[in-house]
Amino acid sequence: MDAKFKTALREVCSGDSAAALVTITDVKGSTPRKPGAKMLVFPDGRVIGTIGGGCGEAEVRREALNVLSSLTPVKYIVNMTNDMAEEEGMVCGGIMQVLIDILTPGTNAEKKLLAAYLDSLEAGEEPVLATITNCSGETGRLGRKYFVTANGRQQGDLGHDKLNEAVSQRIEQVRLEGKTRTITVPSENGQPECTLLFEPAPAPIELLILGGGHIALPLASMANILGYQVTVVDDRPDFANSARFPGASQVICKDFVGALQELQISNRTFVVIVTRGHRHDKLCLQEVASRPASYVGMIGSRRRVKALLSELREEGIPQESLERIHSPIGLDIEAETPEEIAVGILAEIINVYRGGRAKSLKISQS
Residue pair 22/51 in contact by the 8 Å Cβ criterion: yes
Task: Give 47-67 pLDDT, tens digit per residue.
Answer: 999 999 888 899 999 999 999
Task: DSSP letter for 139, please.
Answer: G
- Would you state the pLDDT for residue 9? 96
Return the amino acid letter for 262: E
Per-residue pLDDT of the chain (366 residues; tens, 9 = 90+): 788 899 999 999 999 999 999 999 999 988 889 999 999 999 999 999 999 988 889 999 999 999 999 889 999 999 877 544 455 555 556 899 999 999 999 989 999 999 999 999 999 899 999 999 998 877 778 999 999 999 999 999 998 898 999 999 999 889 988 889 999 999 877 778 999 999 999 878 999 999 999 999 999 999 999 989 999 999 999 999 999 999 999 999 999 999 999 999 998 999 999 999 989 999 999 999 999 999 999 999 999 999 999 999 999 999 999 999 999 999 999 999 999 999 999 999 999 998 888 988 888 765
Alpha carbons within 13 angstroms on the beta-carbon side of residue 220 total: 29
pTM reported for the whole predicted model? 0.77
User: Where in the chain do CATH 3.40.50.720 domains reside?
Assistant: 206-354
Rounded distance between C-alpha atoms, residue 109 and residue 268, angstroms = 34
Return the amino acid letter for 18: A
Task: Give 247-273 pLDDT, tens digit per residue.
Answer: 999 999 999 999 999 999 998 999 999
- Would you state the pLDDT for residue 93? 67
Question: Beta-carbon neighbour count of residue 21 at 10 Å?
Answer: 23
Return the amino acid letter for 267: N
Q: Is 150 exposed, middle or buried (0-12, 13-18, 19+ CB in 10 A)?
A: middle
Q: Where are the alpha helices (DSSP H) in 123-274?
A: 161-177, 216-225, 256-262
Q: Which of 261, 245, 258 is nearest to 209 (CA)?
A: 245
Rounded distance between C-alpha atoms, residue 300 and residue 330, angstroms = 11
Q: Where are the alpha helices (DSSP H) in the chain?
A: 3-14, 54-70, 83-87, 109-122, 161-177, 216-225, 256-262, 278-288, 302-314, 319-322, 338-354
Return the C-alpha torsion angle 27, 28, 30, 34, nearest 10.
20
- Would you state the pLDDT for residue 83? 46
Homologous superfamily (CATH) for 206-354 = NAD(P)-binding Rossmann-like Domain (3.40.50.720)
The DSSP annotation for 328-340 comes to S-SBSS---SHHH
